Amino acid sequence: MSRVPMTPTGYQRMKDELDTLKTVERPKVVKDIGEAAARGDLSENSEYDDAKERLAILNRRIGEIEKKLSQAEVIDPTKLASDKVCFGATVHLVDVETDEEISYQIVGVDEVDVKAGRISIASPIGRALVGKEEGDSVRVAVPKGTREFEIVGIEFR
């Protein structure tokens, strides 16, 4: 079984989602199924069919999360130190063309939130940055073309 890198924050978010699905969402849908079934003929009961479908979707999501959590390798960035970009690092970049400064934390695929500055280690920018050092430049193919960034800082927080 391959391990999936995850930050402690991402792991906790996933555990919280699993808990909500199991203790709040699933019981609500099970109750909806019971109420719809009590209305009679199930062969033409769209509320019953909808609730059963919602339950199936919930159960699939619960299974996905349980599998990811069982494969998680929790890596605490605050306990890392390196001169090179690796999982968990917060990388400070300057766009060579625009002089725009931007920072990204390299996280697992289930933790991505670009607006919050968290990008996947498997993303084009994440892959280009891993293994690089402060002062290095990287060229990255992005949807708007190719961009060049200079790494101006690396920290682990």
Range in 15-29, 40-54, 63-77, 131-145 the model is least confident about: 40-54
Distance separating alpha carbons of residues 155 and 126, to the nearest angstrom: 15
pLDDT at residue 45 tops 80 = no
Backbone angles phi, psi at 143, to 5 degrees: -55, -30
State the pLDDT at residue 38.
Answer: 85
The arrangement of secondary structure in 4-74, i.e. its CATH architecture, is Orthogonal Bundle (1.10)
Residue 1 has pLDDT above 80, yes or no: no
- Which residue in 57, 54, 62, 74 sits closest to 22, CA to CA? 62
Q: What is the pLDDT of residues 9-37, one digit of tens each?
A: 999 999 999 999 999 999 999 999 998 88
Mean pLDDT along residues 112-128: 94
Inter-residue contact 106 to 88 (CB < 8 Å) = yes
Average per-residue pLDDT in the chain? 93
Q: Is 95 helix (H, G, I), strand (E, B) or coil?
A: strand
Long-range CB contact pairs, 121-130, < 8 A, 24+: 121/5, 121/87, 125/149, 129/85, 129/91, 129/104, 130/84, 130/85, 130/86, 130/87, 130/106
pLDDT at position 24 is: 97
Task: Give the CATH number of domain 77-155; options: 3.10.50.30, 3.40.50.150, 3.40.50.1970, 3.50.80.10.
Answer: 3.10.50.30
The structural domains of the chain, with segments of one domain joined by +, span: 4-74, 77-155
Q: What is the pLDDT of residue 86?
A: 96
Please tell me if the domain spanning 4-74 has the same topology as the one spanning 77-155: no
| 42 pLDDT above the threshold of 70 | no
Single pTM value for the model: 0.83
